[in-house]
A = this chain, B = another copy of it.
Amino acid sequence: MQSRFYTLTDYPQGLPERELFKLETEDLPELGPGEVRIRNHWLSVDPYMRGRMNGVRTYVEPFTLGKPMEGGAIGEVIASNDERLKEGDIVNHMGGWRDIAQIPAEGVHPLPDIQVPEQAYLGVLGMPGMTAWTGLNLIAECRTGDNVLVSAASGAVGSLVVQLAKAKGCHVVGIAGATHKLAWLESLGVEPVSYRDRNAHELSDAIRLACPEGIDVYFENVGGICLEAALSQLNEGARIAVCGMIGSYNAKEPTPGPSNLFELVARKVRMQGFIVADHWSHYPDFLKEVAPQVAEGKLDYKETVKEGLESTPDAFLELFEGGNTGKMLVKLNQ
């Protein structure tokens, strides 16, 4: 049996060129002890993957040039040498960026028995959803009545943050760009604020207009002018959960940080970076709280779906152009 997979041919500077992603084919060896073979249905592309393309270890190892890339995926077990897993099981695993994955069974998990579409476990009930829940609750310690600001608020993580915060009884302001994203946020009861054609000062004014009482919790996905504008609108004792800074992931040159970091002192702010993997022991808590809301349709989530393995690099690259509303996914028809 063959596997088709993407590999990186070189570590990019700046926005990766399409040509760096090479589709390869290999004959799979016989299934080894403890291995499982999976036919993927859905592949995830996520902004954090850009960090694995720099050739240096950060909190995860970089992708190895010439080897299959990795990422979240949902698929069906078609062969198993592990007693936990059997043919036909639908599983969540990290053998993405390929059609057939043959990997050790230890990182492969059957989906929970909840009536939602299977790809939800790559988004709203998967890593992005868990990231939103973790950042809002465990890192920012968001409380009922807080005023919450979210950047990239219509993205896979942000769109969950705003809804979880609304469900807590918070006043929520969401920063996004495209008109249809702002409209979606408004439909969720979120105060939409556009960053388009605004500098940090103008964005700050727009946030104040949307929330004159100041911000208690800022969920940061972007950096740049969003961070600078947010810092100037924080209340004393505000908490910033720093999930990511997508605005700088493809920067070729160092991009200066906000000029108003002293606000951390003046407003006694706690700013905390986090990686969701460190908090995975809370996944059952997350699932218990959020899965019923998803199953009952109380929590709105959107997907931007590309078709076919060949679309994976483009799906990834569009993340940096705001090409997705909600979760960006690749659907494999096999």
Contacts and interface: CB of A to CB of B under 8 A. Distances in A.
B271 A271 contact: yes
Contacts of A51: 266
Given A236-B59, A242-B264, A259 B269 contact: no
Given A270-B272, A271-B272, A255 B264 contact: no
Contacts of A58: 266
Nearest to A271: B271
What is the total number of copies of this protein in its complex?
A: 2
B265 A260 contact: no
What's the interface size class on A, roughly?
A: 20 to 34
A261 B223 contact: yes
Contact of A257 (B236, B258, B278): B258
Contact of A262 (B248, B265, B267): B248
A85 to B, nearest CB: 32
Nearest to A278: B268
Nearest to A269: B273
Interface hub of A223, A236, A262, A269 (most chain B Cβ within 10 A): A262
Interface of A: 51, 58-59, 223, 227, 236, 242-245, 248, 254-275, 278
30 contacts: A59-B236, A59-B266, A59-B267, A59-B268, A223-B262, A242-B264, A242-B265, A243-B265, A245-B265, A248-B262, A254-B259, A254-B260, A256-B257, A256-B259, A257-B257, A257-B259, A257-B260, A257-B261, A263-B273, A264-B273, A265-B273, A265-B274, A266-B273, A268-B272, A268-B274, A268-B275, A269-B273, A270-B270, A270-B272, A270-B273
